[in-house]
């Protein structure tokens, strides 16, 4: 993700409309919790996926308040694969050619579509 280049807004995937985001309290390990249904969408998603892979670039509320430009996970962010049988698998330094080709959805207060995944508390 090149932060120096402008990002164009693309129409979100159907699952993004129902997605939610919240900060995990420090007593529970801290981090970002994303959740939402993966419903069948005629003409787009004919069946529920067996696995879902995603890459996240995010800053904690504290680092955002301090104006830090770096992301959790560095330039490549943090990549995960989720499945019903294995749960969440962090991809760490594994190659992710499929993720490298998919659109990036910028969810930022200054971007169109920012309301999809906003933390409940901005503290």
Is 50 exceeded by the pLDDT of residue 114?
Answer: no
CB 77 within 8 A of CB 96: no
Dump pLDDT digits (tens) for 69-111.
777 777 778 888 888 788 788 777 778 888 888 877 766 555 5
Predicted model pTM: 0.54
Structural domain boundaries in the chain: 14-101
Distance from C-alpha of 53 to C-alpha of 63, rounded to nearest angstrom: 26
Residues in the chain: 123
Evaluate the CA torsion angle 57, 63, 66, 69 in order and state its sign.
Answer: negative
Cα distances (Å, whole numbers) of residue 43 to 14, 19, 47, 109, 121: 11, 20, 10, 31, 36
Cα distances (Å, whole numbers) of residue 68 to 29, 55, 57, 92, 109: 21, 20, 13, 22, 16
């Amino acid at each position: 993700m090149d932060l120096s280049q402008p990002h164009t807004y693309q129409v979100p995937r159907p699952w993004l409309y129902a997605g939610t985001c919240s900060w995990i309290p420090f007593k529970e390990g801290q981090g970002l919790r994303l959740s939402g249904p993966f419903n069948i969408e005629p003409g787009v998603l004919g069946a529920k996926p067996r696995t879902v892979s995603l890459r996240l670039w995010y800053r904690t509320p504290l680092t955002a308040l301090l104006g830090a430009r770096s992301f959790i996970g560095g330039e490549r962010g943090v990549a995960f694969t989720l499945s019903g049988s294995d749960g969440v698998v962090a991809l760490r330094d594994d190659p992710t050619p499929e993720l490298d080709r998919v659109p990036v959805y910028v969810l930022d207060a200054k971007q169109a579509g920012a309301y999809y995944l906003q933390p409940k508390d901005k503290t």
